[in-house]
Each structure stands twice: as C-alpha cells, then as structure tokens.
Structure 1
Amino acid sequence: MEINSKVIGILGTAKNTGKTTTFNFLLEWANKENIRVGLTSIGYDGEDIDNITGLPKPRIFIQKGNIIATAEQCLSSTAAELEIIEKTSIITPLGQVVIGSALQEGLVVLAGPNKGKDLKYIIQKIKQQGVQIVLVDGALNRMIPLVHCDALILTTGASRHIDIDLLVEETESILRVYNLPLREGQNIPNQEIRRHQHNMVIFQKNGVIRKLNDYSLISPKTLHNLINNIAEKESEEIYIPGIIQDKILKEMVEKYSALFRGKTILIDNPTFLLVGSQDIRYLKDLLADMISKGINLKTLHSLPVLAVTINPFYPKYHRYGKESYEADWIDAVQLYQKMKSRISLPVINIKGEESKKLVMIIKKFLNIGKKKK
C-alpha cells in the first residue's frame, strides 16, 4: 500500500563527512517513533573499511521492518536477514537490484541504481510497501538522480576541506544554487516547457518556439549556437534542460550580458548547475553577477535543503615509510560557529546536542506531531 511518504536525499560533499552517521541517526530515531523507513543508495556505499584511507567507517544499521533496495551481491555482506519482496530488472555493477524487508536489525551494504529513471522506479516500489519516509544515500559525484527526492540534507566537513573558511564558502554556494527561484506564473505553462526536455528551447514573446539540437551548455560551441539563435528583442525565456558548465555560463555573463539582459535562463533543476561546476565556491558570485546584469536564472524543479550537518573529522595523510592515514580533527567549535554565522539553515553536529534539531526539522517536514484542529 502506497501512502503519502516523503523522500529525503542525504547529500555528502565527500567521503567521511558524516553522511552515513546522519543516515544511521535518522534510522534510529524513526525506529523509536515507529516510523517505517525505506532506504537505498545512488551507487555503492556502506563499506566497513573506507577503501581509500583504510580507516573504519560506520555502515548503515537498519531496523526490523525497514525496506531496502540494494544490489544482489551486497546481500552476502549484509548482517540483517531480509525477506526478498521483488527482484527488479535494474542491473548495477554489483548485480540486480532487489527490494527486501528487514526481518531483524543489522548492518547492510547499500548499492542502488545510478540512473535517475531507475531511482525513480525504485522509490515508487519502496513507497508501495507503506513506508512513511524514503532515505536516499547520495554524493556530489553521483547527485543527478537526487532530483527525484522531495528534499535534501547536506553533509559536509573537514574531509572535504580542512580550511574552514573555504568549506563555509563552498557550502554557501551549494545552498545558493538550491535556493534558486522557482519558475511560476508565466504565460507558457511548465508542462509545455517540460515537453522539450531533450533540447534547448528559446521561447519568444510572439509565441515562436525555437528548438536547438543541443541539450546542455557545456562548450563554447553550444554557447555560440545559442547566441546565434537568439532574437534580441523577441526572446523571452531560454530553457536549458541539461548540464551547464560554470565557465561557459561565466563567458555568457561577462561577454554577452547585453544580449541576455531581461531574459530568463531556465534550468530543469539546481543539480545540473552544480554538476557542471569546476569550483563550486565561485557559483554564488557568478549568480550575483547575473542578477546585477539583469539576467534571470530560474528552475523548473525546486529541491529544498532542510539542514546542514557538519563533521570536524578527516583522515590525515602521512608517509611513514609507506603511505598511511590517521584520524584527525579540525576545531569543531570554530567550524560550527563560522558555518552558523554564514548560512541561514540549521547547522547540526550530528554527534552533538544539535542532533535534536534535526529530529524537529524532519518531523515538521513529515507533518508529524501536529495537533489536529
């Protein structure tokens, strides 16, 4: 039975930023509240030992009744006993994705689908089992399928950057992108725009629709093709359904701002802008430059970030005869204070007292605990 459940993606900026710890915290809380959870991963995660650093890494600890979707080969490494509900037709490098119900608690290894359409299918199948919340394990290097989530929790920390100022600056940029204004209230309905999801499209004020062969804005060639097809006074909205590279967007803003002034660049979802960025830190400045030059940037799909969890831990690299790593930490208080002073979202150290805030945020998002009038 499918109920009105919500899908939350846990987006990690790097390994060891606390993503799995956040995952386990939410699973433990949901179990105490008798909330049935479904979970899967975009690609592979949950290994016992970090395969790069060799340091111990927490794994996903599921509770009885949880619904999981993972690759078949992962079942041999899964301590929890599962009742297989369905073997899907989705194939990963670790085998066929299966959906199972946990008959007991225990550690699991998650390896889910890599493609957006496959994740969408898996989420639908998990929802049919009557879960109230679906958690999706994601990361910056495999984030595009997260568009099928209803909201995100961003996890970041010293493993991404040990320079706190740099880390905060990058987090600001990520949140700025996810906070792009949603397109609504225009003459052309969103449904009409979505029909052109495989091509760049220029919508003109006179009703003329110009479809281009390009899908993404990723090279000077694609930019010049777009420029050559724009009618300066007639063009109103430019829909770019694919990835946008930041350096190409920067060239557009710096060299051709007069042509694009007063027009709206419409992207499918914020994720495609992040994926195309070589250095995420500078995106917020680029977006500010667009606004100052009168170029609008909007998104068809919103993907709100509920909170940012932080982790001061990082694997410190050493060379003692042979390459090795050891656990180390940056200043946790300074990380928390600087992050909190620069972003408007709740900042949470998942192992600290602030973890209670995350519970309240999730409850509010799920409409749990509201009194009926």
Structure 2
Amino acid sequence: MLLLTHLDEGLQTISVVGMAKNSGKTVTLNRLIEEAAESNTPIGLTSTGRDGEKIDIITLTEKPTVFVYEGTIVATAKETLLNSEVKLEILEVTNFNTPLGTVVIARALNNGFVEIAGPDTNSQIKDVASKMRYYGAKLVIVDGAINRRTVAAPSITDATILAAGAVISRDINRAVEETQHQVNLFNLEEIDKGIRHLVNSIFEEKKYAIIDKQGETTLMDIPTSLSNGRIIGGYINEGTSYVIISGSLVGKTLQDIMAASYFYKEVIFVVEDATKIFISPREWRLMKKRGLKVRVLNKINTLAVTINPTSPYGYGFEPQEFLKMMKETMFPLPVVDVMMEDN
C-alpha cells in the first residue's frame, strides 16, 4: 500500500511528481485511487497539467487513462470535463481560467474514466484542494505535470510521491543516481529554528539577503539569483553566516559565487524548499566536496518512490534488478514497482 499507511499522519494533500515524462506517474496515480476506493476513503483529484487522455497530445503516443470511482471529487477544466466518460455532478464553477476553460469542481456519480487538467498556479491548486475537502474529500491527490515539481513544495502539498523509471536513462545506474539525487534534495536539512521567522519573512518579500554572525540582515540589490552569482559572492565575507536565495538556485549561480568568494565555505545557502534547486547530480557532488552547504526552510515529506522499469522508447530494465537497486539505494524510503502485484 502506498496511501493507507500514511493517512494517520494527518495528511490532507499528496502530490505525485514524475522525474520525467513517461516515468509511471499516471500508473502511480491510478494505484492510489484504487487503494482509496478499497478503503472507502473519499478523495479529491486534480492536476497541474493534463492527464487521463488516451493519446498524449505532445508525443501522440498512447498513455494510461485515469479511472475514478463513484464519489470522487475532481477539479478539472471544462474541456476535459466534457471529454470524460464518467457522469459528473457539477459542485462549483471556479473563477480560475486555463487554456482548456474554467476549472470546475465536480463529483463522480459512477465509476469511469476522466480527463483532468487543473489550475495553472500553485495558489490556485491550494485553493481548489481546500474546496474539494469542503465538498467531502478526506485526501486530495495532486497530479504533478512534467517540469512542475513545485507542486511537491510543502507550501502546496503535505507530502509527495516521486515517480521514477527507465525513461530517465538507458543506463540503470544513472537512472538510480538521478532518482537518489532528487530524493536527497527533497530531504535536505532544515535551517535552525532560531532564524526561521527571519528567513521566512525574507522569502515572503521575495528578497535576496545576507545574514551575518550577529543576526543582522543585508538585502542584496538583485532581482534574481540567475546570472548574478558573482554579485552575490561579492556580498559574502568572513562575517557572513547565511545567504538567502528567494528564487531558483542553479549550478551556474553557485559556480560563480564560489569563484567570487573564498568564504562560501563558511556560510549556509538557504532556499525555501528543494523544488527551487536545479543542479545535476555531478555538479552537486563536486560542490559538496568543495564545502558547499545548502539548507531549506521547509523539508519535503517524501512518502515513497514508485518505479517503472519500461521506457516508451523501446528499452527497459529487468524489473526485479531495478527494484532491488532502487530499494537498496533509497532505504529506508519505500520503493514500489506499481506494475507488480508484490514488492
């Protein structure tokens, strides 16, 4: 079971995030829906992209459909609502507009296939999740679209399940490494409680700042960290304790900071959560060896990793070998092959 063992933790929203397109995210989603139905757990369902269509509109290949059970609450755009085979009772028409029409909240009146395409922004996702809970969903599952891992952020969902698979790489070792890297980022250590309030206020104002050893804050006059690594490095000196990065943190920015200031080894770089970090496993490994320290304001609660040993590009891994490697590498995090009955 992926879902039921975690319900007693008071979770209200869970995201399912794919490492890459065709990593098995929709199969994971269907497995969660089935488990909820088996336990008579009322759920809500929405997506940050589009899911449940029979043909992928980008690759023009067949993809798994989404099957829901009577009583499921869905938040989806009008166009996908009309494409769904299940009979739906409209509960509310929101004021959230998408390229596929206004987002509608509805209840499934029977079992059947649905297409889902939810709101475009994280704040809207939070809003519709709250609405679905109002209409009776005990748990809301958010389907995270490709390149929308921000839905895993603690400010959006309470926990996440990471879907990985052979599609990541033809090299099984690299597929495992990439997945481990993402899990490690999700599990980054949180900053000390003593400065949480100060750091949170900086993030709320979307500022970039330096905090020195006396707790004094200096705001940096930059609109973004991108292409401004050397400027950030110029602010760092022997008295610096923390560097607060409100936006994305990429490898090139850190490389430029390291080149601009030797004192980077003495400070802790802080981002809001790991969805803001875009650094390859190799870059991350090398930077850690050079003394880089990164912390987060909010750690991501990763419930499990699901795997798909088959790639749509005509190759795959031996399922038991892939599962074994993933379990050993991710331990103690649960790893489940959703295509297998027993794991």
- Answer whether TM exceeds 0.5 for this pair: yes
8 Å contact kept, 1:82–1:102: yes
Find the partner of 1:264 among 268, 286, 305. 268
1:144-196 Cα shifts (integer Å, max 9, x gaps) = 2331111111111122222211101101111111110011332x3x2332222
Shift of 1:252: 2.8
Shift of 1:224: 2.0
Change beyond 3 A, Cα 1:203–1:6: same
8 Å contact kept, 2:33–2:68: yes
Change beyond 3 A, Cα 1:215–1:182: farther
Find the partner of 2:212 among 204, 228, 231. 204
SS for the counterpart of 1:43 is coil
- Per the alignment, residue 288 of structure 2 pairs with 288
| Amino acid corresponding to residue 184 of structure 2 in structure 1 | R
| Amino acid corresponding to residue 289 of structure 1 in structure 2 | K
8 Å contact kept, 1:67–1:100: yes
Shift of 1:283: 4.9
Shift of 1:24: 0.8
Alpha-carbon distance between aligned partners in 1 of 2:199 and 2:316, rounded to the nearest angstrom: 47
- Per the alignment, residue 255 of structure 2 pairs with 250
After TM superposition, list the pairs within 5 Å mapping 1:162-177 onto structure 2. Answer: 162-177=170-185
Structure 2, unmatched stretches of 5+, are 1-9
Change beyond 3 A, Cα 1:287–1:34: farther
SS for the counterpart of 1:339 is helix
Length-normalised TM-score, structure 1:
0.82
8 Å contact kept, 1:215–1:241: no
Are residues 1:302 and 2:299 paired? yes
Find the partner of 2:61 among 46, 52, 55. 55
1:110-156 Cα shifts (integer Å, max 9, x gaps) = 11122111112122212222322111111451222331111111111
1:26-74 Cα shifts (integer Å, max 9, x gaps) = 1111111010101110122222013344432111111111111111111
Identity %: 32
8 Å contact kept, 2:233–2:257: no
Change beyond 3 A, Cα 1:175–1:21: same
Find the partner of 1:342 among 325, 329, 335. 329
Alpha-carbon distance between aligned partners in 2 of 1:134 and 1:110, rounded to the nearest angstrom: 14
Alpha-carbon distance between aligned partners in 1 of 2:271 and 2:127, rounded to the nearest angstrom: 23
- After TM superposition, where is structure 1 displaced by more than 6 Å over at least 4 residues in a row? none
| Amino acid corresponding to residue 332 of structure 1 in structure 2 | P
1:293-322 Cα shifts (integer Å, max 9, x gaps) = 2x4311011112111111122223xxxxxx
After TM superposition, list the pairs within 5 Å mapping 1:334-373 onto structure 2. Answer: 334-344=321-331, 345-354=333-342
| Amino acid corresponding to residue 183 of structure 2 in structure 1 | L
8 Å contact kept, 2:103–2:119: yes
8 Å contact kept, 1:9–1:149: yes
Are residues 1:329 and 2:316 paired? yes
Alpha-carbon distance between aligned partners in 2 of 1:289 and 1:139, rounded to the nearest angstrom: 33
- Per the alignment, residue 236 of structure 1 pairs with 241
Alpha-carbon distance between aligned partners in 2 of 1:78 and 1:260, rounded to the nearest angstrom: 53
Structure 1, unmatched stretches of 5+, are 317-326, 356-373
8 Å contact kept, 2:47–2:145: no
- Per the alignment, residue 178 of structure 1 pairs with 186
8 Å contact kept, 1:309–1:348: yes
Find the partner of 1:79 among 85, 91, 98. 85
| Amino acid corresponding to residue 269 of structure 1 in structure 2 | D
Are residues 1:131 and 2:158 paired? no
8 Å contact kept, 2:210–2:241: yes
8 Å contact kept, 1:53–1:315: no
SS for the counterpart of 1:141 is coil
SS for the counterpart of 1:21 is helix
How many aligned residue pairs are there?
Answer: 329
RMSD, aligned CA: 2.0
